Amino acid sequence: MSQSAAGEGYDLVLKGGRVLDERNGVDGVFDVAIKAGKVAAIGASLQPGTARVEDLSGCIVAPGLMDIHTHVYHKATSLSVDPGLIARRSALTAMVDAGSAGAGNYDGFRDYVMNQSPYKIFAFLNISFPGIFGFDKGVSIGEARIREMLPVDRCVAKIEANRDRIVGVKVRIGGPVTGDLGLGALEVALEAAEAVGLPLMTHIGTAPPSYGDVVSMLRPGDILTHCFRPDPNSAVGRDGKVIPEVRAARERGVLFDIAHGMGAFGYETTERALQDGFLPDLISSDVHVIAIEGPGFDLLHTMSKLLNCGLTLPDVIGMSTSRPALAIRRPELGHLGVGAAADITVLRQVESNYVFEDVVGATRPGVTLLQPVAVYLDGKEMEIGRRPFEEPFTLGSHCGHDHHKEEAAE
């Protein structure tokens, strides 16, 4: 907790919200002061002086949400969606693209999407030279089936030239994505990640190879994405317990990411894993051209889903802010310490009768939803978007900020 001299030139004071900042151990009702795009102070009853004041009583004030698994190489790859739409709708300040681009087309992603967006966009570079090129409604062509499409030297060179934005290597493993190459694609991706000293994010799909075989090859800091995918090939064995290879991987420091998507969140797997004391490390959406239509929708909806599965609100916030920032080795993000960028997400938790659905059609009644109130990016208030798929199911509770949403339904 910190406080500078009372009202010392603050630009904005966010007053009276429940501040949840896992990195700095903050969970309580406090004010947050912003000056010159940075967090200037956090404390009880800060004196605003001449600063603008926003009453956030009853709201959740968190570091800016970061979705660590998205697909946002918009209009250049068939699976990708508009990063601005997703950021506005899901109250994001940062997102990480999970391998939409490879070494062969990353420059376009950087120049025409990343550099044109006000939001903080990073990328895992696909080990496959063309990235994910054959994914759309009714189309699924694996990008890691042929060894010649996975040139380690080109991946490494592109990362070395773009370390400001590229945070690791991505590979999709399993079934038709890798075909007969199987674990060979994972070996190649690990070679590239090792060469650049960055994490590997690996998608786990249907067998072969098995979940256990894939996770056993991962190193400390690597990320197994789609961690609670449904059977077949899930993290849970026939005995209803998390398989030993997954436990061993966590002990090594492998991170486990939700990445809901269209095929990677099953209630049976999730509930059994949670009952066995195995929580995810990271919450993400795997938002893409199909998943955006549900049942995953986006990060905020996936957070609400995990909250209704019994995770605590502080854990859900931490898994979507501090932990992903640390996973991509950007410790300057994901927290509200004094001097940090004033990337802030303001939410409200409301009662709801929303019926959540997993990727195989299983449903669970919900009792609460997280809804966006405001987003500040480097201290500037950003537009937030409507959530028409949830709006009919919010039953009450609001906080003080008079926010403005886009009028058009998205």
Where in the chain are the domains? 65-327
The domain defined by 65-327 carries CATH number 3.20.20.140: yes
- Strands 166-173 and 223-225 come out as unpaired
93: its two tokens: 């300040």
Report the pLDDT value the prediction gives residue 407, as an integer from 0 to 100. 41
The reported pLDDT for the residue numbered 409 is 35
CA distance 88 to 93: 9
Residue 153 sits at φ, ψ, to 5 deg, of -60, -40
Q: Are 38 and 29 in contact (CB under 8 A)?
A: no
Q: What is the mean pLDDT of each run of 10 residues along the chain (410 residues)?
A: 61 98 98 98 96 98 99 97 98 98 98 98 98 91 94 98 98 94 97 98 96 98 98 97 98 98 97 98 98 97 98 98 99 98 98 98 98 98 98 80 48
* CA–CA dist 38, 310 (Å, integer): 34
In this structure, which amino acid lies at residue 6? A
Report the C-alpha gap between 198 and 203 in whole angstroms: 16
Identity (one letter) of the amino acid at 268? E
Residue appearing with tokens 């990320």: 223
Q: Dihedrals φ, ψ of 189, to 5°?
A: -65, -40
Tokens of 73: 């190489």
* Rounded Cα gap, residues 79 and 82, in angstroms: 10
**Taking the mean position of all CA atoms in its chain, how far away is CA 105?**
23
pTM score: 0.96
Q: 3-state class of 234 per DSSP?
A: coil
Q: What pLDDT does residue 400 have? A: 62
Residue whose tokens read 């070996």: 187
DSSP E strands, 106-259: 120-126, 134-136, 139-141, 166-173, 200-204, 223-225, 255-257
Q: Which of 133, 197, 202 is nearest to 159 (CA)?
A: 197
Residue 380 parent element (H or E): strand 380-382
303, burial (CB in 10 Å: exposed 0-12, middle 13-18, buried 19+): buried
Using DSSP's 3-state secondary structure scheme, residue 213 falls into helix
Residue 160 token pair: 């070395």
In angstroms, the CA 63 to CA 341 distance is 9
E-strand stretches of 222-307: 223-225, 255-257
Res 4: pLDDT: 47
Tokens of 231: 């059977």
